[in-house]
């Protein structure tokens, strides 16, 4: 694996994972099985209120080629073919959705010691072209993320980001939504032994002049049990506990309460992931 600045999506990722990953208010269940020849089949179900959504994903690996097929409850077939390192540092991803004839896309990712590039183009007559690039190293990275619609001749997205990484601290600054939203994030590892960390994210919208602040923390109760908590300036407080009751099999219980309307019922989410 190349050590370097990574991809643009990695800017601020540690803070986002701390503050938002695994929190949910729905009920989710997934089970994964493996065939003798290494084919992985994962069945997932998600209950959102009275609505139930499900999908079945099949993953095949052959040397450096990974093929994923996913069928959902709407009878759509999602196909992704990933070729890992046809050349050093390069990854090629081809994806499409059946029956959507305009969904085909090819993406190239390249990781270098001092750069990370990701570019994709839709397989249509007038495609949307995406490009993101990061320059720097594993300490300091500066990048941009843009999308161009060849049908209209307009840029549909242009973002920029800066990241600083130290041994126990990661700070990031991003400008998103075509320059309308400025977001600063912070991740600090307090104790690697217990995976204790704190993080924060502050966003400012120039068009509405509104600010949003989210604070969070995580801690290992024991080697198999993680607890996390977060609170934002809108009075929403959330917490979760995640237990690995067997290798790669996780049970996650999360809850959210509105401290400004404590009389309302708390949202409770449950996720179960079973792997052999």
What CATH number did the domain enclosing 152 receive?
A: 2.40.160.10
In a domain, 91, yes or no: yes
CA–CA separation, 21 and 177 (whole Å): 22
In a domain, 1, yes or no: no
CA–CA separation, 205 and 144 (whole Å): 19
Residue of 177, 186, 236 whose CA lies nearest to 204: 177
Domain housing 187: 6-272
For the cut 60, the answer to whether the pLDDT of residue 1 exceeds it is: no
Report, as an integer, the average pLDDT of 185-205. 97
**pTM for the whole thing?**
0.92
In a domain, 210, yes or no: yes
CA–CA separation, 31 and 246 (whole Å): 13
In a domain, 57, yes or no: yes
In a domain, 21, yes or no: yes
How many structural domains is the chain composed of? 1
Q: What is the pLDDT of residue 145?
A: 98
In a domain, 59, yes or no: yes
Confidence of residue 233 (pLDDT cuts 50, 70, 90): very high
In a domain, 166, yes or no: yes
Q: What is the pLDDT of residue 139?
A: 95
Read off the pLDDT of residues 146-162 as tens digits, 9 standing for 90 and up: 999 999 999 999 999 99
Q: What is the pLDDT of residue 101?
A: 82
For the cut 90, the answer to whether the pLDDT of residue 226 exceeds it is: yes
For the cut 70, the answer to whether the pLDDT of residue 2 exceeds it is: no
Average pLDDT of the chain to the nearest whole number: 95
CA–CA separation, 86 and 110 (whole Å): 11
**Does residue 99 have a cis peptide bond before it, meaning omega lies within 30 degrees of 0?**
yes
In a domain, 58, yes or no: yes
Read off the pLDDT of residues 7-30 as tens digits, 9 standing for 90 and up: 999 999 999 999 999 999 999 999
CA–CA separation, 48 and 27 (whole Å): 7
**Dihedral through CA 125, CA 105, CA 14, CA 158, nearest 10?**
-10
Q: What share of the chain is helix, strand, coil (3-state, %, to 5)?
A: 5, 65, 30
| Contact predicate 86/64, CB 8 Å | yes
Q: Which helix (H) or strand (E) holds 83?
A: strand 77-84
Q: What is the pLDDT of residue 71?
A: 96
Cα dist from 137 to 88, 113, 143, 166, whole Å = 18, 7, 12, 12
Q: Which helix (H) or strand (E) holds 109?
A: strand 105-112
Read off the pLDDT of residues 86-130 as tens digits, 9 standing for 90 and up: 999 999 999 999 988 888 999 999 999 999 999 999 999 899 999
Could you say which DSSP state residue 4 is in? S
């Amino acid at each position: 694996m190349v050590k370097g600045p990574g991809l643009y999506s990695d800017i601020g990722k540690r803070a986002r994972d701390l503050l938002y990953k695994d929190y949910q208010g729905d009920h989710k269940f997934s089970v994964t099985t493996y065939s003798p020849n290494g084919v992985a089949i994962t069945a997932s179900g998600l209950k959102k209120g009275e609505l139930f959504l499900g999908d079945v994903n099949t993953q095949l690996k052959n040397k450096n080629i990974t093929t994923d097929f996913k069928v959902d409850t709407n009878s759509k077939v999602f196909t992704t073919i990933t070729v890992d390192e046809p050349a050093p540092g390069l990854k090629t991803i081809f994806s499409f959705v059946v029956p959507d004839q305009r969904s085909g896309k090819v993406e190239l990712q390249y990781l270098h010691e001092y750069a990370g590039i990701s570019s994709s183009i839709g397989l249509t007559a007038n495609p949307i072209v995406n490009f993101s690039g990061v320059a720097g190293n594993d300490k300091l990275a500066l990048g941009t993320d843009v999308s161009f619609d060849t049908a209209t001749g307009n840029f549909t997205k242009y973002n920029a980001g800066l990241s600083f990484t130290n041994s126990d601290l990661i700070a990031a600054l991003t400008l998103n939504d075509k320059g309308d939203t400025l977001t600063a994030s912070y991740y600090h590892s307090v104790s690697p032994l217990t995976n204790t960390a704190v993080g924060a994210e502050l966003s400012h919208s120039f068009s509405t002049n509104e600010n949003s602040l989210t604070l969070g923390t995580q801690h290992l109760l024991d080697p198999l049990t993680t607890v996390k908590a977060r609170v934002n300036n809108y009075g929403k407080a959330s917490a979760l506990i995640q237990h690995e009751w067997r290798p790669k099999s996780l049970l996650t219980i999360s809850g959210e309460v509105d401290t400004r309307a404590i009389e309302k019922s708390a949202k409770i989410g449950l996720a179960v992931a079973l792997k052999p």
